């Protein structure tokens, strides 16, 4: 039997050898080299890349992007907190043995990663400059978001497939590379030669910028504006002209709500990939409730800023309680602050899907979800309002209060208008914002000082905090870290984020013990890659230390 098998093998081998010159091409066509790069139309790569901005389910990655990490990072800035008492992230903790807060790491290196590289490489070969420019814009966004969240990370060796361990690079290098990609993107997005095809781009970009080159350019300008304004607490901010650059690029970015950069969702069916990660269908945020800080800022309960003024945007952005008022949780306390025995008080806020039950993880019996928490709720990635607050902060730091004042007013106005044009769904008819309601709010001296002389940094940053609520978690966390959570506004002597209270350390220490009394300033690199193979480099940068998450990032250092 063995002899027969051997003879058959030898016979088959002889046939292959005899026919090798005539059939080798057919064999290659039938059996592609699994290690070779298979070139596919770049038009098919871009939709998955764009989905990776939020939390897309695709071959390019599942749940990579800002939305998954937002659920945890939002507790550091008190956008919201969990219903659980003593919850880790509510106490400004982090984790080592988990991929929690690793979604941006995964989005940049895996979800976008080689897909972006291929679009740039193949798009250049095919002279599809519009796709090349879009991919370079994505890479610019990647580098900035990555380094702001994690600090040091892999830059120069990021996509070297011959390596199993990688060296980490510094934050200044990431900022420089981000800007370099921005300039390349702008150059390629301005090209109309070669095989630029607006129709093809629009089809691949259906759920982001709709193929609009102008909006992609504005997105790039906004990334540049962020990259300069993120440094507003550094000594080089004014001396190196970074404030001027922030103003320049913010002015070139989104200037009206028509320019807003929005990720949208088809909700074609109940599959995860068709719905927002924050929507009730995907069931990811049922256990979180709005923070006390945002509720107090908007209800007038903050005793330092906007005191006594009810913000009509509450009914769009927040969840009322059974008393039809707006309260929130302290993330380190969770639901315990509202419980008397086992019975919740009527002050406890509904969850973001409108269910009033304390421990609810689902929506109500009738879907009354609002704002970015809907299945189809557009997810802003950058807005005109944000850019106006960027101009306001930069101009204020320069001493140009007139420009800062005008931008501050525009920022509030644009946010109102975005809500009334995009997020009216399920807002009670009696609570829909009217022109009179907007005017009443914006002419209150507690909101808009009578003259530019009365404007403070707290005004600007607290209104920006409100305008980015729900979707701008990453940028707001960057802003709050710039001001070290509790830095003082030199004009008023109060905190820049007026009334903001991090987890207290006495008489009870609510700050997680491994932080050694320090606030959180970064996330750890993603566990499921770095902590499994890149130990020498993690050791070098201190990422194995219990308090690594408290190491301050370069952008917020003086």
Instruction: Check pLDDT > 80 for residue 55.
Output: yes
Query: Considering only CA atoms, which of 366, 372, 369 is closest in space to residue 354?
Result: 369
> What is d(CA 223, CA 143) in angstroms, rounded to the nearest whole number?
10
- Half-sphere exposure of residue 177, counting CA atoms within 13 Å on the CB side? 20
Q: What is the model's pLDDT at position 27? A: 46
Query: Considering only CA atoms, which of 312, 298, 468, 314 is closest in space to residue 379?
Result: 468
Ramachandran class of 261: left when φ > 0, alpha when ψ lies in -120 to 50, beta otherwise: beta
Tell me the whole-structure pTM to 2 decimals. 0.93
Q: What is the model's pLDDT at position 340? A: 66
* Averaged confidence pLDDT in the chain: 91
> What is d(CA 303, CA 300) in angstroms, rounded to the nearest whole number?
8
> What is d(CA 63, CA 54) in angstroms, rounded to the nearest whole number?
8
Q: Give the orientation angle of helix 42-51 with respect to helix 129-150, to 10 degrees.
A: 30
- What would the mean pLDDT of 401-418 be, rounded to a whole number? 98
Q: What is the model's pLDDT at position 5? A: 32
Q: Tokens for 3?
A: 């002899």
Band of residue 343 on the pLDDT scale cut at 50, 70, 90? low
Band of residue 341 on the pLDDT scale cut at 50, 70, 90? low
Q: What is the model's pLDDT at position 95? A: 84
- What would the mean pLDDT of 368-388 be, rounded to a whole number? 97
Question: Per-residue DSSP letters for 373-404?
Answer: GSTT--EEEE-HHHHHHHHHHHHHHHT-HHHH
Instruction: Check pLDDT > 50 for residue 21.
Output: no
Query: Considering only CA atoms, which of 41, 187, 171, 168 is closest in space to residue 109?
Result: 168
Band of residue 345 on the pLDDT scale cut at 50, 70, 90? confident
Q: What is the model's pLDDT at position 10? A: 30
Count of beta carbons in the 10 Å neighbourhood of residue 431 = 13
Q: Tokens for 422?
A: 């995009």
> What is d(CA 362, CA 372) in angstroms, rounded to the nearest whole number?
16
Band of residue 337 on the pLDDT scale cut at 50, 70, 90? confident
> What is d(CA 404, CA 389) in angstroms, rounded to the nearest whole number?
8
pLDDT digits (tens, 9 = 90+) for 234-253: 999 999 999 999 999 999 99
Q: What is the model's pLDDT at position 371? A: 98
Q: What is the model's pLDDT at position 35? A: 47
Question: Per-residue DSSP letters for 427-440?
Answer: --GGGSPPHHHHHH
Instruction: Check pLDDT > 50 for residue 7.
Output: no
Positive or negative: CA dihedral 133, 136, 142, 148 = negative
- φ/ψ of residue 241, rounded to 5: 75, 20
pLDDT digits (tens, 9 = 90+) for 260-276: 999 999 998 777 778 99
Termini Cα distance of the chain: 80
- What would the mean pLDDT of 468-491 be, rounded to a whole number? 97
Percent of the chain with pLDDT over 90: 83
CB-count burial class (<10 Å; 0-12, 13-18, 19+) for 24: exposed
Q: What is the model's pLDDT at position 209? A: 98
Domains of the chain: 57-558 (1.25.40.390)
Q: Tokens for 11?
A: 């016979």
The strand pair at 339-340 and 343-344 is best described as antiparallel
Q: How many residues does the chain have?
A: 558
pLDDT digits (tens, 9 = 90+) for 167-196: 999 999 999 999 999 999 999 999 999 999
Give the single-character DSSP code of 429.
G
Q: What is the model's pLDDT at position 365? A: 80
């Amino acid at each position: 039997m063995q002899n027969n098998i051997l003879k058959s093998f030898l016979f088959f081998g002889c046939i292959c050898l005899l026919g090798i010159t005539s059939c080798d091409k057919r064999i290659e066509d039938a059996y592609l080299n699994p290690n070779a790069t298979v070139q596919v139309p770049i038009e098919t790569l871009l939709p998955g890349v764009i989905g990776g901005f939020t939390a897309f389910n695709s071959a390019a990655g599942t749940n990579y992007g800002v939305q998954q990490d937002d659920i945890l990072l939002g507790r550091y800035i008190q956008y919201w907190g969990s219903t659980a008492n003593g919850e880790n992230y509510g106490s400004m903790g982090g984790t080592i043995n988990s991929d929690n807060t690793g979604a941006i790491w995964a989005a940049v290196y895996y979800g976008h990663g080689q897909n972006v590289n291929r679009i740039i490489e193949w798009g250049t070969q095919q002279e599809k400059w519009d796709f090349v420019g879009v991919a370079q814009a994505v890479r610019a966004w990647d580098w900035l978001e990555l380094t702001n969240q994690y600090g040091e990370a892999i830059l120069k060796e990021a996509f070297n497939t011959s390596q199993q361990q990688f060296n980490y690079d510094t934050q200044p290098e990431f900022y420089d590379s981000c800007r370099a990609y921005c300039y390349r993107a702008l150059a390629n997005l301005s090209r109309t030669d070669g095989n630029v095809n607006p129709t093809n781009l629009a089809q691949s970009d259906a759920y982001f910028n709709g193929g609009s080159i102008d909006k992609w350019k504005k997105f790039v300008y906004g990334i540049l504006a962020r990259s300069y304004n993120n440094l507003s607490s550094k000594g080089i901010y004014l001396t190196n002209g970074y404030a001027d650059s922030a103003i320049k690029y913010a002015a070139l970015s989104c200037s009206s709500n028509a320019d807003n950069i929005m990720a949208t969702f088809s909700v074609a069916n109940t599959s995860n990939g068709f719905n927002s990660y924050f929507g009730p269908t995907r069931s990811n945020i049922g256990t979180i409730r709005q923070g006390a800080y945002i509720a107090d800022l908007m209800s007038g309960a903050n005793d330092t800023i906007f005191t006594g003024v009810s913000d009509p945007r509450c009914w769009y952005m927040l969840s009322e309680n059974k008393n039809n008022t707006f309260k929130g949780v302290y993330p380190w306390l969770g639901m315990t602050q509202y419980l008397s025995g086992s019975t919740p008080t009527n002050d406890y806020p509904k969850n973001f899907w409108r269910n009033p039950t304390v421990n609810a993880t689902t929506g109500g019996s009738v879907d009354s979800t609002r704002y970015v928490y809907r299945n189809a709720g557009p997810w802003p990635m950058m807005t005109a309002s944000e850019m106006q607050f960027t101009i306001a902060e930069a101009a204020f730091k320069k001493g140009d209060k007139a420009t800062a004042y005008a931008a501050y007013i525009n920022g509030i106005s644009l946010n109102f208008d975005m809500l009334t044009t995009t997020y009216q769904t399920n807002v009670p008819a009696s609570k829909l914002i009217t022109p009179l309601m907007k005017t009443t709010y914006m002419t209150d001296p507690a909101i808009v000082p009578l003259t530019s002389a009365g404007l403070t940094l707290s005004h600007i940053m607290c209104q920006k905090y409100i305008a980015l609520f729900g979707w701008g978690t990453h940028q707001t966390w960057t802003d709050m870290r710039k001001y070290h959570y509790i830095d003082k506004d030199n004009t008023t002597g109060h905190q820049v984020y007026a009334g903001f209270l991090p987890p207290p350390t006495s008489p009870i220490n609510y700050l997680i013990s491994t932080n050694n009394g320090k606030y959180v300033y970064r996330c750890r690199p993603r566990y499921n890659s770095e902590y499994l193979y890149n130990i020498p480099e993690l050791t070098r940068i201190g990422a194995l230390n219990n308090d690594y998450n408290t190491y301050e990032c370069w952008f917020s250092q003086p």
